[in-house]
Amino acid sequence: MDAASLVRDIRALAEGRSDLWTSSACGVTRSQRAIPALLHRDAYSASPRQTRVLIIAGLSAQPADVELALATARQYSSPDNATSSTIALSIVPCANLDGLELRAAPGNGAGGSPESGYPPDDGYFYHQTDPEQRYLWRWICFQAPDLMISLAFSDTTVWEANDAAGNLGSTLGATSMGSGDGLLQALGADGAGGLGAIPGIRLGTTVDGLRGEMERLWKTIETTTPGRSGAGAELDRRRSRSPMEVGRALSSPYGHRLDPINYTEGVAMSGRLRLADLDDEVTSPAQEFVALVSPYMAHDFFAYATNAGALGALVWADELTQATGDPRYAALLVEAGNVYRRASEGKTAPILRADYIVEDMLHIGSVLGRAFNLTGDDKYLDVLTTFLFDAETQQESGLYWHGRNAHHHWGRGNGFAAMGLAESLTYIPEDHPDRARVLTKYVALMEAMRRHQEPSGMWRQVVDFPGTYQEFTATSMTGYAMARGVRMGWLDEGFRDTVALAWQGISDRIEDSGKVVDACFGSGTNADIQYYLDRPAVSGFDDRGGSMALWFTAEVQVLRTLSGPGLDTA
């Protein structure tokens, strides 16, 4: 048993029962191996028909443990096995893939061990010795199964239960795991990362005893009907919130400052204005923003806004003019457009990065599009489309490199590209000679992103690298661009389900306080893929995550409003 043969076995199982499973990945090891998983097609369903069960094996990297998991998969997927009608089973046959491949059992070959150390409290998802812990913990918590099972080879049959297993454990005659820092113990006691407890059972058994013990477990689940786990119930509650409820949660901590002047602050301000227009229960923040920006307005605003990210912070300006009737704010956007125009003519220092990084696609698209909208001057669009066409960082797949010197499909990078193209199309007139070409780029990117969407609704930190973490900003930004495209008719109606799934994934990861989960920290460009794998994921209050989620939330609400009845899952 090695990593390559395990991956082949999992793919064969998924292909053999494609009605049950998809081949997936739940993490990445220090040696850049994706940790493979068999993911049930209803694992993230908003309306589960079955009890959702997740099996984890191979934490110790013992081949015998892995074989037990594969044998269970074959038993479950047998055409004459009725269990699949009542149990939605997902399986990670070997959670310690490096340990298996490097023969490093019980460790992972990097000085760590996935068997203990739960819950991990930092180092997401960069950790020199124990990345598996971080990936497994987050993947399990936000899948929120109704029951977790750990399989391990044993000369005798042994059942153990965590604190959340309740009647299921006693019915099986399981002993208590007690306290400790094992995975199942933490899921039962810690509340699965703040979501709620997940019942857990550990089965130690022989190869010959496996089938009978698993059949006993399935029958016990059918008779005890454990229902949703605490974590699953909390995700169900979060998903039931309306966009307006989520918007209010986000509006509380985000969009209240403009120091420093940066796009993350500006997008949040714009998002609050948009949501206030849609929500009768919320007072417009317009006068708050008038006071917020008045110190800058009293001087030269552009003494403070000296780079593309700062110019992109002005996305609120035309909306504030509309809310207040004061034309000075919209005039800032025209002057920001002039900064780009003068730079493109060589009259000032270049404002855009020479390696055509995707961040600039959002900044230039949002500013120059608005400047054209306010003035009707085509020269703003000339600068915009020239940049979009000269970048040459979109690949045949439709995805974008981070920049000319960074040939990786960074998640938020493709979110920047998606938003930049969507913002551009919002303002480029239908009869403009460059519109069709911009639209082609946009649709190609949206189709590529749809192909890479996770079953959870999320997009990865590196879009086409399975197992990299499911990243909050990439999903909010891509979801926004897709929702805008569906609403405006740039995308076919088939994308509506993609938007709905992205909204579910984002809703799962927004707490009522406005805290978000796994927003990639600020990132420069880099030629090494490990740089992107190691970018920290912020969980808590995060301006990038909160601002992009505000725009996505507002766009989902508008899409729902315009779509009419019967589409309230969009």
In a domain? residue 568: no
Q: Count the domains in the chain.
A: 2
Domain boundaries, position 473: 241-563
The mean pLDDT value for 520-528 works out to 95
The mean pLDDT value for 243-263 works out to 96
In a domain? residue 106: yes
Domain match, 245 and 348 both: yes
Confidence of residue 347 (pLDDT cuts 50, 70, 90): confident
Of 187, 215, 239, the residue that ends a domain is: 239
Q: What is the pLDDT of residue 349?
A: 75
Q: Say if CB 112 and CB 31 are below 8 A apart.
A: no
* Mean pLDDT of the residues in the chain: 95
Q: What is the pLDDT of residue 190?
A: 66
CATH of the domain at 265: 1.50.10.10
Q: What is the pLDDT of residue 508?
A: 97
Task: Compute the C-alpha angle 98/101/107, nearest 5°.
Answer: 50
Domain match, 32 and 153 both: yes
pTM: 0.96
pLDDT tens digits, 29-45? 999 999 999 999 999 98
Q: What is the pLDDT of residue 304?
A: 84
Domain match, 128 and 255 both: no
Domain match, 374 and 384 both: yes
Where is average pLDDT lowest: 76-80, 99-103, 549-553, 559-563? 559-563
CATH of the domain at 34: 3.40.630.10
The mean pLDDT value for 218-232 works out to 90
Domain match, 309 and 425 both: yes
In a domain? residue 569: no
pLDDT value at 1 more than 90: no
Domain match, 334 and 441 both: yes
Place of tokens 């508008």: 558
Domain match, 158 and 24 both: yes
Q: Could you tell me whether strands 158-161 and 175-176 are parallel, antiparallel, or unpaired per DSSP bridges?
A: parallel
Which helix (H) or strand (E) covers residue 460, if one does?
strand 459-460
Q: How far apart are CA 146 and CA 139, in angstroms?
A: 14
Q: What 3-state DSSP class applies to 59?
A: coil
pLDDT tens digits, 286-330? 999 999 999 999 888 888 888 999 999 999 999 999 999 999 999
pLDDT tens digits, 450-496? 999 999 999 999 999 999 999 999 999 999 999 999 999 999 999 99
The beta-carbon contacts of 341-346 under 8 Å, at least 24 apart in sequence, are: 341/379, 341/380, 341/383, 344/383, 344/386
